[in-house]
Chains A and B, each alone.
Chain A
Amino acid sequence: MRTNDAISGLILIVASTIMIYLTLDFPDFPGQKYGPSLFPRILGTALILCGAILIVRGLSARRAGVPWVTLADWTGDPRRLASFLMLPVLVLVYILVSEPIGFIPVAFAMLLFLFIWFGTRVVVAVPVAAIATWVMYWFFAVMMRVPLPRGILNNVL
């Protein structure tokens, strides 16, 4: 998804303005003219300047016929579009359900689902998903003592 530079510039200007606005209530150093707000304000100002140049550049590109938004060719293919969206959605699902359900079942289900979606045969997908989940659990939770969520397997492990 390629947007015209003018849109990127506008987003930059809005975001930097919000950033500078948030610095307004930062305190100063006692006895100094400047404090924690100085550096973010300099950055914000520089970003606004860059945003302005991007808008000028984008508008002249627009006049030359560059569209506001150009979608990559794969977005026309529903299956590839779904593959693309699936990644962030699955991570989001993991964020939401891993605590109550636990790492092992969620990770296994996620891998299995993705393998099959990308066309791996079930006979291959099930053992590979199981082994990959187990190796990762073993390395991080057992060896490195990372408290991966246990969830429903709390009493078993």
Chain B
Amino acid sequence: MWDAILQAFGLVFDPYVLWVCLAAAAFGMFVGAMPGLTATMATALLVPVTFFMDPVPAIGAIVTATAMAIFAGDIPAAMMRIPGTPASAAYTDESYLMSRKGLLDLALGANLVFSAVGGLFGVAILIIAAPMLAEVALNFSSFEYFWLAGLGLTCATFIAQSDPLKGFVSLLIGLAIATIGIDPAAGHPRFTFGSVEMLQGISFIPAMIGLFAISELLRGVVTVGQAGEVLVQQVGNVFRGLGSVWRRYWRNFFRGSLIGTGIGALPGAGADIAAWISYAVSKRCSKEPEKYGTGHLEGIVDATSANNSAVAAAWIPALVFGIPGDSITAIVIGVLYMKNMNPGPSVFLQNPQLIYAVFIIFVLANLMMLPIGWTAIKLAKQTLRTPRNILLPIILLFCIVGAYAMTNSIYGIIIMLSLGIFGWLLEENGFPVGPVILGMVLGELFEQSFMTSMIKADGSLLGFFSRPIAGTLGVLTLALWAYMLTRNLWRREPATQG
């Protein structure tokens, strides 16, 4: 083990890797701070660049960029009342009202420090939990994997979405897209319409660039001229007064990080949901709930710790089972597959140094967040003025080239464009795109474990419950379904968007 850890340090503390991480950090800060560009989009734009790198710098770039982007989303929230990423939406009003009261420094400082420490909390849980779970997961057979994927997909649709039916439809669409190409069990080409390029399936990265970046651009392009007003206020010493904040709200920090870690580790629910839920919990448990919504720091501490701890925790199911915790890790899993590093418990045995390298990079990223975040805050006034009418066309061209580079042909651009328009239509009609990506990533594992299990059990569905862990997971999955079906599916009007 110590061998692997030493090797991991060697892999990470390579000048090239560190340089890549630093560049990715700056990129993540910028994308996260720009309203309308999300952390998922940062990942989508990074993938074509990291595609050509070794696994460690490639993963390092994604880890650093996403961790930074989730914090950076807090900056425009406090300065412009526009969340930089959806993960900051829960407390955007709260931090903006703080700035209006003249507490901009304190709001940004608390966001920065609690983001970093919350992130470290999530990483600590990741480091403790992942190897332990991997040990258990080594004994899993296709039945367990089937139910794990099933449970993950269930969580993704039901827990995470405001309208479970539409979330479920998105998921099925994703799974259906994943069936295009050569089928995993028999090798028969499906839905390829005679196209040679479609034999390998819908290329994952162009699809993802379309779903997350092009659809975002389509939404952004109609509001190009309407930038928000930057609150003109001098940023002073953002670290002043944080000591007393810690003494007063350390319980909120631990509660927020714990909730964030739990929700992040659940497949399908990511940083944004973690922030909403921990904010709500914080308000319910507070001694002074009447102050919430007037520029009160307490809820921000909970929520900003929660969303950053969720980023790390989402990697637990991703690394151990190959089941993504959120849309970012869904993309990461796609990247790992392309690098022939199929996530799952066997990576912990065969390539432990890569797993430790991911851990080290996570710690490093959250430590780097303090100086880089501080710089980002100081530069925010200039950065937030970056004209969107220059940014959007450049991102569009970058998407085109990135999609092309993945297939070295026009095919990538065609996939990107089709899924971009499709993703835009889905979101416009209240169908979330996150589950589509989850379905596309999990489709093959889900189908393969299903078919293998069917053959092993000789078509008997009881076989799916014959092993203890599989049985438990199966009952859990079915119970969730029964509960949600009776409670939610027939509801006429979906709840307000969360």
Output the least CB separation between B117 and chain A (Å). 35
- Asked if A29 and B185 sit within 8 Å, CB to CB, the answer is yes
Q: Given the complex of chains A and B, what is the CA–CA distance between A84 and B215 in angstroms?
A: 11
Output the least CB separation between A137 and chain B (Å). 9
Nearest to B399 among chain A residues (CB) is A91
B390 contacts chain A at the CB level, 8 A cutoff = yes
Mask of B373-411 contacts with A, CB within 8 angstroms, 1/0: 000000000000001011011101110110011001010
Secondary structure at the A interface, as helix, strand, loop or mixed, is helix
- Asked if A36 and B408 sit within 8 Å, CB to CB, the answer is no
- Asked if B396 and A114 sit within 8 Å, CB to CB, the answer is yes
The one of B175, B222, B398 in contact with A80, judged by C-beta atoms closer than 8 angstroms, is B222
- Asked if A83 and B222 sit within 8 Å, CB to CB, the answer is yes
Report how many residues on chain B are interfacial, defined by Cβ distance under 8 Å. 60
- Residues of B contacting A90 in the complex (Cβ-Cβ under 8 angstroms): 396
Stretch of B107-115, B164-172, B314-322 that contacts chain A: B164-172
- Asked if B405 and A146 sit within 8 Å, CB to CB, the answer is yes
Task: List, sorted by A's number, 14 A–B pairs whose CB atoms are closer than 8 Å.
Answer: A29-B186, A35-B186, A80-B222, A84-B222, A86-B221, A88-B420, A107-B397, A119-B389, A128-B390, A132-B394, A136-B401, A140-B401, A140-B405, A147-B408
A65 contacts chain B at the CB level, 8 A cutoff = no
- Asked if B451 and A38 sit within 8 Å, CB to CB, the answer is yes
Q: Given the complex of chains A and B, what is the CA–CA distance between A3 and B431 in angstroms?
A: 12
B450 contacts chain A at the CB level, 8 A cutoff = yes
Stretch of B124-132, B296-304, B335-343, B421-429 that contacts chain A: B421-429
- Residues of B contacting A91 in the complex (Cβ-Cβ under 8 angstroms): 214, 396, 400, 413, 416-417
Nearest to A137 among chain B residues (CB) is B401
The one of A39, A44, A84 in contact with B450, judged by C-beta atoms closer than 8 angstroms, is A39
**Which of A3, A33, A72, A83 counts the most chain B CB atoms within 10 A?**
A83
Given the known interface contacts A87-B218, A114-B393, the answer about A39 and B179 at a Cβ–Cβ threshold of 8 Å is yes
- Asked if A50 and B454 sit within 8 Å, CB to CB, the answer is no
A34 contacts chain B at the CB level, 8 A cutoff = yes
The one of A23, A34, A88, A148 in contact with B417, judged by C-beta atoms closer than 8 angstroms, is A88
The one of B190, B389, B393 in contact with A23, judged by C-beta atoms closer than 8 angstroms, is B190
Q: Which residues of B contact A (CB under 8 A)?
A: 49, 52, 165, 168-169, 172-173, 175-176, 179, 183, 185-186, 188, 190-191, 214, 217-218, 221-225, 387, 389-390, 392-394, 396-398, 400-401, 404-405, 408, 410, 413-414, 416-417, 420-421, 425, 428-431, 447, 450-451, 454-455, 459, 489-490, 492-493
Mask of A17-60 contacts with B, CB within 8 angstroms, 1/0: 00100110011010011111011100110110010011001001
A123 contacts chain B at the CB level, 8 A cutoff = no
A156 contacts chain B at the CB level, 8 A cutoff = no
Q: Given the complex of chains A and B, what is the CA–CA distance between A78 and B416 in angstroms?
A: 26
Mask of A114-157 contacts with B, CB within 8 angstroms, 1/0: 11001110001000100011001001100010111000000000
- Asked if A34 and B454 sit within 8 Å, CB to CB, the answer is yes
- Asked if A120 and B390 sit within 8 Å, CB to CB, the answer is yes
Q: Given the complex of chains A and B, what is the CA–CA distance between A118 and B393 in angstroms?
A: 9
- Asked if B492 and A61 sit within 8 Å, CB to CB, the answer is yes
- Asked if A84 and B218 sit within 8 Å, CB to CB, the answer is yes
- Asked if B165 and A53 sit within 8 Å, CB to CB, the answer is yes
- Asked if B398 and A136 sit within 8 Å, CB to CB, the answer is yes
- Residues of A contacting B392 in the complex (Cβ-Cβ under 8 angstroms): 114, 118
Mask of A60-90 contacts with B, CB within 8 angstroms, 1/0: 1100000000001010000010011011101
Given the known interface contacts A111-B394, A115-B393, the answer about A19 and B191 at a Cβ–Cβ threshold of 8 Å is yes
- Residues of B contacting A114 in the complex (Cβ-Cβ under 8 angstroms): 392-393, 396
Q: How many A-B residue pairs have CB under 8 A?
A: 152
**Which of B52, B404, B417, B490 counts the most chain A CB atoms within 10 A?**
B404
Output the least CB separation between B453 and chain A (Å). 12
- Asked if A43 and B179 sit within 8 Å, CB to CB, the answer is yes
Known: A2-B430, A29-B455. 20 other contacts (CB 8 A): A1-B428, A8-B431, A26-B188, A36-B190, A39-B183, A39-B451, A40-B176, A40-B190, A46-B172, A50-B165, A53-B490, A80-B222, A87-B221, A110-B397, A118-B225, A118-B389, A120-B389, A128-B390, A132-B397, A139-B49
Nearest to A108 among chain B residues (CB) is B397
Q: Number of contact residues on A: which range applies?
A: 35 or more
Nearest to B188 among chain A residues (CB) is A36
Q: Which residues of A contact B (CB under 8 A)?
A: 1-3, 5, 8, 12, 19, 22-23, 26-27, 29, 32-36, 38-40, 43-44, 46-47, 50, 53-54, 57, 60-61, 72, 74, 80, 83-84, 86-88, 90-92, 94-95, 98-99, 103, 107, 110-111, 114-115, 118-120, 124, 128, 132-133, 136, 139-140, 144, 146-148
- Residues of A contacting B492 in the complex (Cβ-Cβ under 8 angstroms): 57, 60-61
- Asked if B429 and A8 sit within 8 Å, CB to CB, the answer is yes
Q: Given the complex of chains A and B, what is the CA–CA distance between A26 and B190 in angstroms?
A: 8
The one of A43, A110, A140 in contact with B172, judged by C-beta atoms closer than 8 angstroms, is A43
Q: Given the complex of chains A and B, what is the CA–CA distance between A110 and B223 in angstroms?
A: 20
Q: Given the complex of chains A and B, what is the CA–CA distance between A46 and B430 in angstroms?
A: 19
Q: Given the complex of chains A and B, what is the CA–CA distance between A147 and B387 in angstroms?
A: 31
The one of A19, A32, A50, A118 in contact with B224, judged by C-beta atoms closer than 8 angstroms, is A118
Output the least CB separation between A113 and chain B (Å). 8
- Asked if B429 and A87 sit within 8 Å, CB to CB, the answer is no
- Residues of B contacting A36 in the complex (Cβ-Cβ under 8 angstroms): 183, 185-186, 188, 190
Output the least CB separation between A101 and chain B (Å). 13
**Which of A23, A46, A124 counts the most chain B CB atoms within 10 A?**
A46
The one of B52, B169, B400, B447 in contact with A94, judged by C-beta atoms closer than 8 angstroms, is B400
